[in-house]
Structure 1
Amino acid sequence: MLNNKPIGIFDSGYGGLTVFRSIIDQLPQYDYIYLGDNNRAPYGNRSFKTIHDYTWECVQWLFKQGCPLVILACNTASAKALRTIQQRDIKNDPEKRVLGVIRPTAEVIGNYTKTNDIGVLGTDGTIQSGSYLLEIEHFFPEVKVHQQACPLWVPLIETGEYDDPGADYYVKLYLDQLLARSVKIDTVLLACTHYPLLIDKIRAHLPAHINIVSQGDIVAQSLLDYVKRHPEINEKLTQTQSRKFYTTSDDTADFDHHASMFFSAPVKSKYVSVK
């Protein structure tokens, strides 16, 4: 393992696999390790400190597997842990890089709107952090951002109930609350990597003119640009198309079943303890 230098992909559970799928589609040549901290998921309603501590433990584990570059494919971890990891934990270690999903999304989201009114759907943790408000304002100060927490969507998805007719009630509930904030919203960002699994229901309950933006392709394109701009990182990354999956849940069969839905391909994982 240590002879390889894979890209690490981290998420608190399954959602990051939708981003991982897009990354592989655009950068298939690299080696990858995916780690889901399913034993401690969900992260959405935990404190900043707890989310940082959990995320940092997982990032360190990925570093130990030889990853010089780690992607936090999780909005909650990106919102509540990334800054501390970048500015404190790895500040004096130029050999290691950690990137998130919020900044690359904020860099382009303003290009999707004509009315300059955007809706952001996310977990309680992501919404309460205010990260999207700050980042989008930095890149698109003219854009007005309307946030809506959707606390029941992740449980519906992770229990496999997202396809059930009953899920429509909760999808419509949060979308109606978001749209009530402004009649000018013409773009809705799915600021949780779980939410693409609900995209058909979301589309059914939104007016046809509203753009729905998922993060997978955006993050993948950002990573492609990053490795081009940082040849010193790119030259460290091995390219044998190796893909490994790990979970902190000791029920790997359950993880594999759910993960395959998010990844759109069969997944075979191994259990790991990050402590």
Structure 2
Amino acid sequence: MKTMKLGVFDSGLGGLLIAKAIKSRIPAIDMIYLGDTLHVPYGNRSNEVIYDYCYKAVDFLFSQDCNLIVMACNTASAAALRRLQQEYLPTHYPERRILGVVVPTLEVASEQQHRKVGLIATNYIIESKIYESELKKINPKITLYSKATPLLVPMLENDGMQWVGPILRTYLHPLLEKKIDSIILGCTHYPLLKSIIRQEIGESVDILSQDEIIPHKLEDYLRRHPEISNPIGRSGLQEFYVTDVTDSYKRMAHFIYSKEIIIEKAAIWDLH
């Protein structure tokens, strides 16, 4: 039997945080990471274009023998996940699976019995209302207060961490006025801001961060689905691909992993 892999996909940098966290929790799992750096950010694209990008990305990862893909991007999860699950998979890889990040995050909010939950995310996610629509299915008793935070990702992607504090304080203030008991970091970049957010919101508000949630939920999924888990190798393999290799991306990857990692270019637009 062919040894399969776990795929992790994101449009930019945030997925690296998720990939690193997954490896920390399940060190032996064979993993391939793909970042679509050529088209980042996805949030200013149409749903159809985002779907096309995601289609190509998962097609590449499946061609690399991934049995399961974690779509570690909130925008991709909102715009393309359901369609990929319902249209692409049955036609191309009916025995394989693609998972997103929105539903697991909301499941944790419900499991922890939160009732007044704040959400910070990109404009696209807030306008899509994906968190609201999924929350109604999971636990309609939870009240969600959303705040678009459009300046955070550009600052994180362009070495602007030193200017984040005052802007973040402005974003968080209206949520804190609602007396939230927890806050969802609804972008996979935002774990980089956890310590700053903690300073602003204090200790009484729980932070629901996807770099902590997704590895735990993935481990649980693999335990419940041996037909998906068992074919995935456990040799510790880790490979990194992006659609455009830039110096700034390599610097940020080094910052996230605290070491230099080998990043290869994936020519996914050459696939037919």
TM over 0.5: yes
Aligned residue in 2 for 1:103? 103
Which structure carries more helix by proportion?
A: 2
1:249 equivalent to 2:228? Answer no
Amino acid at match of 1:103: V
Aligned-partner Cα distance in 2 for 1:233–1:109: 26
2:110 alignment partner AA: G
Counterpart of 1:179, as a letter, is L
Indicate the SS of the match to 1:71.
strand
Q: What is the CA distance between 1:135 and its match in structure 2? A: 1.7
Counterpart residue identity of residue 20, structure 1: A
Describe how 1:1-275 pairs up with structure 2 within 5 A.
4-92=3-91, 93-112=93-112, 114=114, 116-162=115-161, 164=162, 166-180=163-177, 182=178, 184-251=179-246, 253-275=247-269
Q: State the Cα deviation string for residues 228-266 of structure 1 (Å, max 9, x = none).
A: 111111121111100000111132x43221112234543
Could you say what secondary structure the match of 2:33 adopts? strand
Letter paired with 1:150: T
113 and 209 in structure 1: CA distance in 2 versus 1, 3 angstrom threshold: farther
Give the percent of matched residue pairs that are identical in Structure 1 and Structure 2. 37
- On the 8 A contact 1:105/1:218 being kept in 2, the answer is yes
* Matches of 1:263 and 1:73, distance apart in 2: 17
Q: Match of 1:39, SS?
A: coil
Which shifted more, 139-148 or 204-213?
204-213
Which runs of 4 or more aligned residues in structure 1 lie more than 4 Å from their structure 2 counterparts after TM superposition?
A: none
CA distance in 1, matches of 2:258, 2:123: 27
How far 1:112 sits from its partner (Å)? 3.6
- Work out the number of aligned pairs and report it: 268
- Alpha-carbon deviations, 1:184-230, whole Å to 9, x = none? 21101101110111122212222431111111221111111111111
- Provide the C-alpha distance between the structure 2 equivalents of 1:239 and 1:190, rounded to a whole number of angstroms: 30
TM-score normalised over the length of structure 2: 0.93
Letter in 2 for 1:176: H
**Cα contact 2:2–2:231 (8 A) shared by 1:** no
CA shift, 1:64, in A, is 0.8
Please give the root-mean-square deviation of Cα atoms over the aligned residues, in Å: 1.7
Q: Which residue identity lines up with residue 199 of structure 2 in the other structure?
A: A
In 2: Cα distance, 1:52 partner to 1:262 partner: 28
Given that 1:249 and 1:255 are in contact with CA atoms closer than 8 Å, whether structure 2 keeps it comes out as no
Q: CA deviation at 1:125?
A: 1.4
User: Do 1:117 and 1:187's aligned partners in 2 also have CA atoms closer than 8 Å?
Assistant: yes
SS in 1 for 2:215: helix
- Other structure's SS at 2:268 match: coil
**Deviations, residues 101-125 of structure 1 (Å, cap 9, x unaligned):** 11111111124455x1100111111
**CA displacement at 1:132 relative to structure 2:** 1.0
TM-score of the pair, normalised by structure 1: 0.92
Between 90-99 and 191-200, the greater mean CA deviation after superposition: 90-99
In the alignment, structure 1 segments of 5+ residues that lack a partner are none
- The answer to whether the 8 A contact 2:50-2:80 is kept is yes
The alpha carbon displacement at 1:171 in A equals 0.8
Compute the displacement of 1:88 (Å): 0.9
Does the residue aligned with 1:185 lie in a helix, a strand or coil?
coil
